[in-house]
Structure 1
Amino acid sequence: MNRHSIFFKLNLIFLFAIGALVALFAMMVREIESQEMRMLEKKAIKYEADIRKIIVQNGSSLQKRLKEHGYTTIPHPEEINVNLRPVFQPPPPSFSPALRERIEDGRLRIYRDNERIYFELVGPKSSRMVAAPIEIYRPKWIAIFFGGMTGIIILLYWTLRRSLIPLKTLAKQIKRFGEGEMEISTRSDKRDEIAFVANQFDAAVKKINAMKEARTLFMRNIMHELKTPITKGKLSVALLKEEQEAKILQRAFSRMEHLIHEMAEMEMITSQALDLNLSRCDFRSLVKDAASLLFIDEQKIRIRCHSCFIEADYNMMVIVLKNLIDNAIKYGEEETVHLCYRKGVLEVINKGEPMSKNFKKLTEPFSKDTNGLKKESFGLGLYIVKSILDAHGATLSHRYEKGYHIFAIEGLKPAA
Structure 2
Amino acid sequence: MNRHSIFFKLNLIFLFALGALIALFAMMVREIQSQEMQMLEKKAVKCEADIRKIIVQSGSSLQKRFEEHGYTPIPHPEEINVNLQPLFQPPPPSFPSALRERIEDGRLRIYRDKERIYFELIGPKSSRMVATEIETYRPKWIAIFFGGMTGIIILLYWTLRRSLIPLKTLAKQIKRFGEGETDITTLSKKRDEIAFVANQFDAAVKRINAMKEARTLFMRNIMHELKTPITKGKLSVALLKEEQEAKILQRAFSRMEHLIHEMAEMEMITSRALDLKPGRCDFRSLVKDATNLLFIEEDRIAIACHKCYLEVDYNMMVIVLKNLIDNAIKYGSGEKVHLCYRKGVLEVINRGEPMKESFEKMLEPFSKDENGNTKESFGLGLYIVRAILEAHGATLSHRYEKGYHIFSITGLKRVK
* TM-score of the two chains, using structure 2 as the length reference: 0.98
Which residue does the alignment assign to 1:281? Answer: 281
Q: Aligned pair 1:388/2:406, yes or no?
A: no
Tell whether the 8 Å contact from 1:331 to 1:374 is kept in structure 2 after alignment.
Answer: no
| Separation (CA, whole Å) in 2 of partners of 1:273 and 1:325 | 21
1:297 aligns with 2:297: yes
The one-letter amino acid of 1:31's match is: E
Q: Does 1:71 align with 2:71?
A: yes
Counterpart in the other structure of 2:53 = 53
AA aligned to 1:349 is I
Q: Corresponding residue for 1:34?
A: 34
Partner of 2:111: 111
Partner of 2:332: 332
CA pair 397-372 structure 1, distance change in 2 beyond 3 A: farther
2: CA distance between counterparts of 1:347 and 1:180? 28
SS in 2 for 1:120: strand
The equivalent residue for 1:14 is 14
Letter in 1 for 2:405: H
1:69 & 1:99 partners in 2: Cα distance? Answer: 20
Work out the CA distance in 1 between the residues paired with 2:307 and 2:156: 60
Distance in structure 2 (CA, Å) of the matches to 1:267 and 1:256: 16
Q: What is the 5 A alignment of 1:314-353?
A: 314-353=314-353
Which AA in structure 1 matches 2:351?
Answer: K
The 10-residue stretch of structure 1 (80-89 or 36-45) with the greater mean CA deviation from structure 2: 80-89
SS of the residue aligned with 1:407? strand
Deviations 1:296-324 (A, max 9, x none): 11111111114511111111111111001
CA distance in 2, matches of 1:207, 1:401: 47
Alignment deviations for residues 377-399 of structure 1 (CA, whole Å, 9 cap, x no partner): 10111111111111112111111
Aligned partner of 1:241 in structure 2 is: 241
Mapped contact 1:353–1:372 kept (Cα < 8 A): no
Q: What is the SS of the residue equivalent to 2:225?
A: helix
Q: Residue by residue, what CA displacement relative to the aligned partner does 1:201-221 show, whole Å, maximum 9, x if unpaired?
A: 111100100000000000000
Instruction: Map 1:15-414 to 2 at 5 A.
Output: 15-306=15-306, 308-371=308-371, 373-414=373-414
Counterparts of 1:339 and 1:85, CA distance in 2: 93
Identity over aligned residues, as a percent? Answer: 85
| Residues 356 and 370, structure 2, Cα contact 8 Å, conserved in 1 | yes
CA distance in structure 2 between the partners assigned to 1:124 and 1:109 by the alignment = 14
Residue range with higher mean Cα deviation, 157-166 or 224-233: 224-233
C-alpha distance in 2, partners of 1:285/1:81? 99
**What is the CA–CA distance in structure 2 between the aligned matches of 1:407 and 1:30, rounded to whole Å?**
77
Per the TM alignment, residue 374 of structure 1 is displaced from its structure 2 partner at its CA by: 4.4
Aligned letter for 1:167? Answer: L
Distance apart, 1:241 and its partner CA = 2.6
Give per-residue Cα distances to partners, 1:47-96, cap 9 Å, x unaligned. Answer: 00010011001111111111111111112223322321111111111111
Q: TM-score, normalised by structure 1?
A: 0.98
126-135 vs 43-52, greater mean Cα deviation: 126-135
Select between 371-380 and 256-265 the one with higher mean Cα deviation: 371-380
d(CA) in 1 for partners of 2:256, 2:206: 34
* Rounded Cα–Cα distance in structure 1 between residues aligned with 2:306 and 2:396: 20
Structure 1: distance between partners of 2:58 and 2:141: 48
- Structure 2, unmatched stretches of 5+, are none
Deviations along 1:85-111, one digit per CA (max 9) or x if unpaired, are 111111111111211111112111111
Instruction: Give me the whole-angstrom Cα distance separating, in 1, the residues matched to 2:204 and 2:307.
Output: 45
Deviates more, 1:156-165 or 1:306-315: 306-315
Alpha-carbon distance in structure 1 between the residues aligned to 2:255 and 2:37? 103
The answer to whether the 8 Å contact 2:182/2:205 transfers is yes
Q: Is the 8 A contact 2:173 2:185 kept in 1?
A: yes
In 1, the alpha carbon distance for the partners of 2:188 and 2:136 equals 57
Structure 1 position 244, deviation (Å)? 2.2
1:372 deviation in Å? Answer: 5.1
Question: C-alpha separation between the residues in 1 aligned to 2:274 and 2:160?
Answer: 39
Q: CA deviation at 1:256?
A: 0.7
Question: Aligned letter for 1:5?
Answer: S
Provide, for residues 116-136 of structure 1, a one-character-per-residue CA deviation record: whole Å limited to 9, x for no partner: 111011111111111111112
Structure 1 runs of 4+ off > 3 angstroms? none
Give the SS at the match of 1:387. Answer: helix
Structure 1, unpaired ranges of 5+: none
Equivalenced residues, count: 416
Is residue 330–residue 374 contact of structure 1 (8 Å, CA) maintained in 2? Answer: no
Partner secondary structure for residue 397 of structure 2: strand
Task: Indicate the larger mover: 123-132 or 240-249.
Answer: 240-249
Counterpart-to-counterpart distance in 2, 1:107 and 1:65: 21
Distance 2:109 2:403 in 1: 108
CA contact (8 A) 1:350 1:405 kept: yes
Label 1:84 to 1:76 Cα distance change in 2 as closer, same or farther (>3 A): same
